[in-house]
A and B are shown apart, each in its own frame.
Chain A
Amino acid sequence: MKLSETLLESLNDIDTVYLEKSEKEYGWLYRYRRQVTAVLSLSAVLVLSLLILPKQQNMSGGSYSTAPAENVQESMKQEDSYDVTETEGAAGTEMRSYMLVLQDENGNVADEAIRREVYETLKAAGYDIYYDECGELIVRGDPEELKTYLEQLKYSYELIEQ
């Protein structure tokens, strides 16, 4: 008997589990499984991008201003023990405190969402920034560096020295 004939005959002894599984009829979901999987994967990537990328962009604030980014660790450590009388940074630059007043695209005083966004951005870039007891944004840094950095944000601003 030829091998092919023996093989066809031998299939009589295959595991019945395989016979049972083969009875299942697949519908459109199975047919389009790859497409569905691809769409779901793409959606997951997009959601993750929306959640993670903005933060990563902020974390890479060095692209705007490298000096503060280099001092991120230092600034984070200093945050709790911040001394408002200090006027010179670690790199010898002039460090001052400013009230940051922001305006939206229409020239109106920025709402809290915008203020929070800028706060997070500057914080991520390594600046010392906090809300004071009156709820005003206070940022500390070299004025020239601060201005250079703030110019790149989309909001109008005013720095009022404290």
Chain B
Amino acid sequence: MEDREILDLYFARDEDAIRETDRKYGHYCFSVAWNILFDREDSQECVNDTWNQTWQLIPPQRPNRFQYFLAKITRGFALNCLRTKTREKRGGGEYDAALSELEAVLASGDDPAKTFAAKELAETINRFLKKLKDRDRNVFVRRYFYLESAAKIAKRYDLSESNVNVILNRVRTQLKEYLQKEGYLNETE
């Protein structure tokens, strides 16, 4: 079923909307949650939460890109779920690995006196992403939005795993420089 038709079901308050959404995007949303949580039960719970949230948001919203609208909701629930878990219980997920990679270059921004609004930072990141070459941006998005492993990204883009790591390393360095320029990081670091 086309996204447009599914959205029409939401607007008609027809509960088939959720069934059709699950049929079309259930696996996709599950993989988004799974990459963060590495837990089948928690991931499925996030997907269910996503359907409920979507039911609340549509209408009045009518997303242009339904798939990514769902991905963002699922990702938000998965990150929340992760935060409620203890750090010991996380283990193995790509979230921690991705976090460590970013911490390595963004450590100077961890000033307790500073707080950063995620929304404001998102705008900065959007501007940064716009500057990147397509391939580099795609690799970055797969790694830090979808939290996919380098191996999976390499397979998707037909690159070697080491090539993906080199790209990520280069983009992180560019990100660091960009955030320094934007005042998020100390220039001396």
Q: Which residues of A line the B interface, CB within 8 A?
A: 1-22, 24-28, 30-31
User: Contact residue range for chain B?
Assistant: 35 or more
| B71 proximity list for chain A (CB < 8 A) | 19
Task: Chain B residues near A5: list those with CB within 8 A.
Answer: 99
A31 near B158 (CB under 8 angstroms)? yes
Residues of A within 8 A of B137 (CB): 18, 21-22
A51 to chain B, nearest CB (A): 34
Tally inter-chain residue pairs, CB-CB below 8 A.
111
Known: A4-B102, A18-B137. A12 touches B184 (CB 8 A): no
- B76 x A3 contact (CB < 8 A): no
Chain A interface mostly helix, strand, loop or mixed? helix
In the bound complex, residues from chain B placing their C-beta under 8 Å from that of A26 are 135, 156-158
B121-139 vs A, CB cutoff 8 Å, 1 = contact: the mask equals 1110110010000110110
Interface centre among A7, A21, A30 (most CB of B within 10 A): A7
- Which residues of B from 36 to 91 have beta carbons under 8 Å from A? 64-65, 67-69, 71-72, 75-76, 79
A8–B172 CA distance with the chains assembled, in angstroms = 13
Which residues 165-189 in B have Cβ within 8 Å of A in the complex? 179, 184-185
Residue in B64, B95, B122, B146 whose CB lies within 8 Å of A10: B122
Bound: A112/B140 CA distance, A? 64
Binding site for A on B (CB under 8 A): 64-65, 67-69, 71-72, 75-76, 79, 95, 98-99, 102-103, 106, 109-110, 115-116, 118-119, 121-123, 125-126, 129, 134-135, 137-138, 141-142, 144-146, 156-159, 179, 184-185
CB-defined contacts of B123 to chain A, threshold 8 Å:
13
A9 CB, min distance to chain B CBs, angstroms: 5
Are A14 and B145 in contact (CB-based, < 8 A)? yes
Q: Contacts A22-B141, A25-B156, A26-B157 hold; do A6 and B121 have CB atoms under 8 A apart?
A: yes
Please, how many angstroms separate the alpha-carbon atoms of A19 and B91 in the complex? 26
12 A-B Cβ contacts within 8 A?
A4-B110, A6-B118, A6-B121, A7-B106, A11-B141, A11-B144, A11-B145, A13-B126, A14-B129, A16-B68, A19-B65, A22-B142
